[in-house]
Structure 1
Amino acid sequence: MTHFVTIITLSILALAFWPTSVIASSDETHEDLASQLSRMESKVTQLESLITALQKEVTRMKSIPTQIDRNSPATESDVAAVRQATTKIPRSCQDLRCMGQIISGMYAVMGNTSVEMVFCDFSKAPNDPSKL
């Protein structure tokens, strides 16, 4: 019978302390969640301010082309200079490279007195000593 009383006593003590451990665990979980919520709210605030700053920067950058257009209108002489530069007959492979040619091959260039066909090798660097 004493054995039975001991078991009952231990069972009652276990039941008495069990809810407090569950409550303590619940309190710790609540504190962890509150801490996580606080960190997340702080991060959201940071991200919102970053978004606002980026939106202002985008608005500023969108206005730049408009400012350039207003400040530097193209004149007829500017257009004529560009047209003349793009229609100029090249005198060398280097001129062709400067005009944007990148494919090696036969090209017409202006010689001393007439137009000549030359082979330009654009696969080599412009300052390559083995270049002919």
Structure 2
Amino acid sequence: MARCSATQLGVLVLVLSTSYAVASLTVDMQLEQLRNNYVKLEQVLATKDSRLEFLEQKVQQHGNLEAQITQLVNEVNQMKTQVRRTAELELKVQRQEYLINAVHGESRSHNNVSLRQGTTQMPKSCADLKNNGHTSNGMFLIMGVKMVETVFCDFSKPTSDQNFQKWIGFADVKSSPVYFHAQRIGNYGAANTGIPFNQLRLNVGGALNPVTGVFLAPKAGRYFFAYSGLSWDSNAKVQLQMKSATVGWFKIGEAHCTPFNTFALQSILDLKQGDEIRIIHIHGVIHDRDGNNFSNFVGLLLEEDIFGC
């Protein structure tokens, strides 16, 4: 019985030793696992910190970009405003130059007429020319009712002879030229307003005010006008209108079209000095936003009433 107890005690000691060894081994492994997990956790946190820092930099850069974009937009708007004001000033200066040139041209024309006439009156017939001392046969310019006329004078015949004077026709004489070509840059949609033009190709005589789009006849005569344009994404309508000293604005002609189609107006008008012409936009949108110059307004003096006006 005592031997059995000793054996059991030995087995018990052995089991306890083994359990302690196993327990010790298990704790070491757990500690090693914890250390490994801690290292991995540090690596993950370091990666997260790096990613977070990167994202913070991106957010800061994005904020800087937004500020720069806002600044650029403001600068572009300021430049557009400056360009528009510069264009308006250039148009005003150009108009003043045309007016000055026109006034100087008419002044020189009147001075030259006075020098040619001297103290004599302008001849109205071959008889007047003969009385002024002309003796050589030929074609001459004489004063007609409104315009300068061309006649052939045969001074070898008496003034009573029907062949003494032969009428040839009207002479295309103008005291100064008047013609213009105006265009638009940018869509226009203001209803029931005169169409302004912010690009001038020609404005000889300075009769067209591009800011208001109104043509002021500087002299009496027959004028030709034409307008063409393109509608935007809706139906559009325009009118050619005239205003005289006694009658307010009234319609000369009208044109309209469906979206993205062209419309046109033409007219030859007998105007008095001071009469006004304009193209008025009734409704819709006129398309000129892409710089293709769809809108064109032209006019010119065909015949001038030199006399009797």
Instruction: Measure the CA separation in 2 of the matches of 1:66 and 1:54.
Output: 18
Task: Tell me what 2:132 maps to.
Answer: none
Percent identity, aligned pairs only?
A: 10
Give the alignment of 1:29-44 within 5 angstroms: 29-44=34-49
Task: Tell me what 1:19 maps to.
Answer: 24
- For CA contacts below 8 A with separation 6 or more, give which structure has more relative contact order: 2
Match of 1:88 among 176, 182, 191: 191
Structure having the higher strand fraction is: 2
Task: Tell me what 1:3 maps to.
Answer: 8
RMSD: 3.4
Task: Tell me what 2:76 maps to.
Answer: 71
Match of 2:64 among 35, 41, 59: 59
Offset of residue 56 of structure 1: 1.4
SS in 2 for 1:95: coil
Instruction: Measure the CA separation in 1 of the matches of 2:191 and 2:27.
Output: 88
Task: Tell me what 1:100 maps to.
Answer: none
Unaligned stretches of 5+ in structure 2? 88-184, 193-232, 236-255, 257-309
Deviation per CA, 1:68-114: give whole Å up to 9, x if none: 2223333479xxx99x62x437xxxx639xxxxxxxxxxxxxxx8xx
Offset of residue 17 of structure 1: 3.0
Offset of residue 59 of structure 1: 0.9
Q: State the TM-score, normalized to the length of structure 1.
A: 0.53
Deviation per CA, 1:34-74: give whole Å up to 9, x if none: 11211220221122022112211221222212222223333
Structure having the higher helix fraction is: 1
Unaligned stretches of 5+ in structure 1? 97-111, 113-132
Offset of residue 5 of structure 1: 2.1
Q: Does 1:50 align with 2:189?
A: no
- Larger Cα-atom Rg: 2
Offset of residue 26 of structure 1: 1.3
Task: Tell me what 1:28 maps to.
Answer: 33
Q: State the TM-score, normalized to the length of structure 2.
A: 0.25
Offset of residue 22 of structure 1: 0.7
Offset of residue 29 of structure 1: 1.5
Instruction: Measure the CA separation in 2 of the matches of 1:51 and 1:25.
Output: 38
Instruction: Measure the CA separation in 2 of the matches of 1:37 and 1:9.
Output: 42
